[in-house]
């Protein structure tokens, strides 16, 4: 089954070791020099487009500048709550910028999240804001591991209740993670009961599976981890690579 590859770049601090630099000239070389760019991967494997999901918009213009004409679908993953003082209702949504006007429309969303919604070091949106702020130039999607279904299933006392401003697409994933089956079954059941669309996807944080250790070291450093407490909660799968998934298609 075809899966949409969801790249995450190093602009999402500690979540990826892939860059947004231009593709190297010899992308077909036997060994790629690290750090590896998303666009080098796209050139090497002749991808018709790339989808990038970052937890900030900082890499947006660099992605389009360095894509050299390759179609780019850019999404920003953000936290949404029922109320600012209710962190137990938090879950994530992805806001895909559909066109140049979509970028303009995202600016007030990001601004409000970073000012009025700012809490505990994080920009946060409230569901009530989305109805008035999400335009037709923005598409929304529910991430697999951090959407409201996953949060409610895996956190005791969590009560994330969505109020979508428009029908979202729900992402499904499978990374040999111990929670995969439970979240997939619940997501498919919810979509079928509510009439929402779901889509098979594969999140990518590094090129080869053996690069997972490099991401672990990077995360531990950026989150001020130590050998006794590396702060790698939930890092229990090395299957967030590109190469193994691409080989299956």
| pLDDT bracket for residue 130 (50, 70, 90) | very high
Q: Which tokens go with 165?
A: 């401003």
Burial 215-242 (b: 16+ CB within 10 A, else e): beebbbeeeebeeeebeeeeeeebbbbb
CA contacts within 13 A on the Cβ side of 164: 18
pLDDT reading at 150 higher than 60: yes
For 71-102, what is each residue's pLDDT tens digit?
999 999 999 999 999 999 999 999 999 999 99
For 165-181, what is each residue's pLDDT tens digit?
999 999 999 999 889 99
Q: How many domains does the chain have?
A: 1
| pLDDT bracket for residue 247 (50, 70, 90) | low
pTM of the full predicted structure? 0.93
Nearest-angstrom CA–CA distance, 4 and 1: 10
What pLDDT sits at residue 249?
46
Nearest-angstrom CA–CA distance, 229 and 15: 18
DSSP states of 12-45: STTT---B-PPPPTTTT-SSPPSSPBHHHHHHHT
Domain residues for the domain of 78 are: 4-248
Q: Kindly report the number of other CB atoms within 10 A of residue 199's CB atom.
A: 13
Strands 169-172 vs 138-142: parallel, antiparallel or unpaired: parallel
pLDDT reading at 248 higher than 60: no
The CATH number of residue 148's host domain is 3.20.20.140
Q: In the chain, pLDDT over 70 holds for what percent of residues? A: 92
For 176-201, what is each residue's pLDDT tens digit?
988 999 999 999 999 999 999 999 99
Q: Which tokens go with 213?
A: 């250790």
Per the model's pLDDT, the better-predicted residue between 218 and 79 turns out to be 79
Q: Which tokens go with 203?
A: 């999140």
Q: Which tokens go with 238?
A: 């090395």
Nearest-angstrom CA–CA distance, 77 and 15: 12
């Amino acid at each position: 089954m075809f899966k949409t590859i969801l790249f995450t770049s190093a602009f999402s601090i500690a979540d990826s070791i892939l860059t947004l630099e231009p593709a190297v000239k010899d992308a077909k070389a036997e060994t790629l020099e690290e750090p590896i760019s998303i666009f080098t991967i796209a050139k090497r494997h002749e991808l018709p487009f790339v989808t990038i999901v970052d937890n900030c918009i900082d890499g947006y213009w660099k992605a389009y500048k360095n894509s050299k004409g390759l179609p780019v679908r850019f999404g920003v993953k953000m936290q949404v709550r029922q109320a600012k003082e209710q962190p137990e209702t938090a879950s994530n949504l992805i806001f895909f910028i559909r066109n140049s006007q979509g970028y303009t429309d995202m600016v007030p969303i990001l601004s409000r999240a970073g000012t009025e919604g700012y809490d505990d070091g994080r920009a946060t949106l409230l569901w009530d804001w989305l109805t008035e702020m999400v335009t037709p130039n923005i598409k929304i999607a529910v991430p697999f591991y951090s959407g409201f279904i996953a949060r409610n299933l895996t956190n005791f006392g969590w009560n994330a209740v969505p109020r979508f401003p428009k029908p979202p697409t729900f992402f499904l994933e499978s990374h040999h993670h111990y929670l995969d089956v439970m979240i997939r079954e619940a997501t498919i059941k919810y979509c079928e009961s509510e009439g929402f669309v779901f889509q098979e996807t594969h999140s990518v944080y590094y090129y080869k599976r053996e690069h997972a250790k490099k991401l672990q070291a990077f995360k531990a450093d950026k989150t001020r981890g130590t050998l006794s407490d590396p702060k790698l909660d939930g890092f229990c799968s090395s299957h967030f690579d590109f190469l193994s998934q691409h080989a299956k298609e």
